[in-house]
Amino acid sequence: MIDKQIKRFPDDFSFGVATSAYQIEGSSFGGCGRSHWDDFADQNGKTHQGQNGAIACEHYQRWAEDLDLVRAAGFDAYRFSFSWARLLPEQDSQVNPAGLDFYDALIDGMLERGLTPFATLYHWELPSRHGDAGGWTNRQTALRFADYTDIVIRHFGDRLATIAPVNEPWCVSWLSHYWGAHAPGLRDIAATAQAMHYIQLAHGLSVEVMRGHGQTNLGCVLNKEFACPADDSPETQRLTLLFDGIYNRWFEESIFKGRYPDDVLALLEAYLPQGYQQDMATISQPLDWVGVNYYTRSIITPDANEAHIGFACTQGDLPKTDMGWEIIPEGLGFFIKRLAQDYAPGLPIYITENGMAHADILEDGRINDAPRIAYFADHLGEIADLVAEGCPIKGYFAWSLLDNYEWAYGYAKRFGLVHIDYASQKRTPKASYLAWQNALQNRK
């Protein structure tokens, strides 16, 4: 399965696993500051059983064991994120020495094990002081993100192979401010428009700071969801395009073409900050690669109750993951081709996240997650076809190394190649981990 697909990739194609700070480290350790995710989880009913990332996978203490697992599987790259709240817990200029020590050890640990460090600067734990001051609806947050970038690059820049400022700007903006499903949990179209712009500005300002330090290999990580119309009426087609514009094109069009798509502007422009046009050159600075996170599709159905957008997102009858997400590998192929043709011709593409939640059962010390193995194999097959056609895809990261804190779903959803027993913190490699290991060890 996975082994058959992996043999189809060229020798220099990178395979890695991805994680993020808040989901695994444990935000109660090492002087980490509060973030808006801690605040969100404290509000009644916002996360599964009120769960937060305070303990998570105790990666703060167990990082060496975790990197050993990455290495032992045969992966050559590790995608991780820095926690802004850990590095700058109290004030924007006062660095937490324990935070520096932690990431020093982690990055050196990767290099010692021959793992290429792929870093993300922001995977969603906004320091509470910025959340309290308006978060991503406040331009100041983007400016402070640039200052934080400067601190990270001065200290760690020489050891990082690639850097992306922001993970999944759609989640940071639309999912968090329009659907209210992630911190800060707003349902406000004006706040959404501001966040949709300021997260892009934060990306651009951060790239500018990094270029100023001579940092190379800078990219962006965009999550994509395949849009399918529920019927073929012109109105449903229009709404499907609008969904695609909000979810997908807003981000790639601003980064690669320096403008927002007209169909989404018609919805959001009235709420965008005045003079937003002046930021577009900052947002659209040249990049060295583009990252795609891909999981599923949405079926777009007209819904008059949705005041601003007029549609609802539903699922069809394809096989689903434990998140209820339909499995449709060809959606990934669609986005890779569109990026390569319309937005970033010639630019290296990485699949920076792909994987599935499964209701894993630990039996006699084993987890047989066969559907996850099939999910990986099917998506790898889609990518291998495109590589064979000449598409410049350079690497693939499985989400995720460990079961972890799945945001509003708390610890109820398991995405890991490695099972976590949250009571004992015991790590148990699943059948999918062993399948990857077998495939990577027999790659040649």
Active site residues: 168, 353
Which one of residues 9, 406, 429, 437 is an interface residue with ligand IFM (CB under 6 A)?
406
Site string for ligand IFM, 69-108 (x = CB under 6 A): ----------------------------------------
Closest distance between ligand IFM and the C-beta of residue 277, in Å?
A: 30
Strand pairing category for 349-353 and 418-421: unpaired
Closest distance between ligand IFM and the C-beta of residue 15, in Å?
A: 18
How far does the chain reach from its first CA to its final CA, in angstroms? 16
Which one of residues 15, 16, 17, 20 is an interface residue with ligand IFM (CB under 6 A)?
20
d(CA 81, CA 118): 8
Closest distance between ligand IFM and the C-beta of residue 406, in Å?
A: 5
For residue 68, what are its two tokens? Answer: 């050993």
DSSP state of 34: P
Identify which of residues 31 and 410 has a Cβ nearer to ligand IFM in the complex. Answer: 410
List Cα–Cα distances, 262 to 170, 245, 249, 397, in angstroms. 17, 9, 10, 33
- Give the residue among 280, 279, 378, 286 at the shortest CA–CA distance from 328: 378
Task: Say which residue the tokens 């084993």 belong to.
Answer: 366
Closest distance between ligand IFM and the C-beta of residue 275, in Å?
A: 32
Site string for ligand IFM, 415-444 (x = CB under 6 A): x-----------------------------
Closest distance between ligand IFM and the C-beta of residue 289, in Å?
A: 18
Identify which of residues 360 and 406 has a Cβ nearer to ligand IFM in the complex. Answer: 406
# of chain residues touching ligand IFM (CB under 6 A): 8
Which one of residues 38, 66, 168, 244 is an interface residue with ligand IFM (CB under 6 A)?
168
Strand pairing category for 289-302 and 219-229: parallel
d(CA 416, CA 29): 22
For residue 382, what are its two tokens? Answer: 């889609």
List Cα–Cα distances, 29 to 57, 58, 124, in angstroms. 11, 8, 18
DSSP state of 11: T
Cβ atoms within 10 Å, residue 187: 11
Which one of residues 162, 293, 298, 352 is an interface residue with ligand IFM (CB under 6 A)?
293
Identify which of residues 225 and 253 has a Cβ nearer to ligand IFM in the complex. Answer: 225
Closest distance between ligand IFM and the C-beta of residue 168, in Å?
A: 6
d(CA 360, CA 368): 7
Identify which of residues 23 and 200 has a Cβ nearer to ligand IFM in the complex. Answer: 23
Identify which of residues 23 and 137 has a Cβ nearer to ligand IFM in the complex. Answer: 23
Interface residues with ligand IFM (CB under 6 A) are 20, 23, 168, 293, 353, 399, 406, 415
